[in-house]
Structure 1
Amino acid sequence: MRIGELSRRSGVSVRSLRYYEQQGLLRPERLPSGYRIFDEHDVVLVQRVRALLEAGLSTRKIVHVLPCLAQHEDGIGLACADLYDELVAERDGLLERIGTLRASVEALEAVIAASPRKAVEPL
């Protein structure tokens, strides 16, 4: 299939698919004309890339994680034990950032609560 069909089937823009290729996440075959040719596996691959991006991983990390993903009864898991600690650290970093964002939201809530409904113009 060509890139437009992969875009329709995966729900990902053509621009994003080209970016994924540039980052090494997709490796389509090329026709002599330069057209990219994708197969059924690429639809699943793009869906996995999207899920990992939504989970907060960078494309740089996803390049290393993708080859280690395996389908299990309970869903997709890692087949490479060496990445486990790296993903746990990534998750812990995300949780730390969430904590920081929550503290920021609470500080803003306090400022908003202490402010009159209509702010007064500064002098």
Structure 2
Amino acid sequence: MEKMNEAAHFLLSQEDFQCFSKVHTDVSHFRCTLHEAYWVQEGQVLRFHIRANRFLRGMVRAIVGTLVALGQGKTSLSAFQEIVASGDRSQAGAAAPPHGLYLSSVRYPESLYKTKQ
């Protein structure tokens, strides 16, 4: 889990997440700002938390799958960093299965709630 958290922390300094996006998707860019990305262990369960200004299609599942591969020793932190730099989805790990994945909340900037008086 320590290696997975180190790699997750690295993601906070990145802005291009093309390597974690579905290949054939209709977006104008792959830039996202991650605010949080970390693992916690709760008993026998590992839980991944991620918060960003936006997510690409398939992004979270691809990140989780790639981080799990790192945690299993199938890749190294330097290889993980190279995957991110490559922008190539085929370099990243397999997408994590969808079961257990859920959206816990959506937050919008307070400015969207203010009405003009």
Q: Identify the structure with the greater helix proportion.
A: 1
TM-score scaled to structure 1, two decimals? 0.26
More strand by share: 2
Structure with larger RCO (C-alpha < 8 A, sep 6+): 2
TM-score by length of 2: 0.27
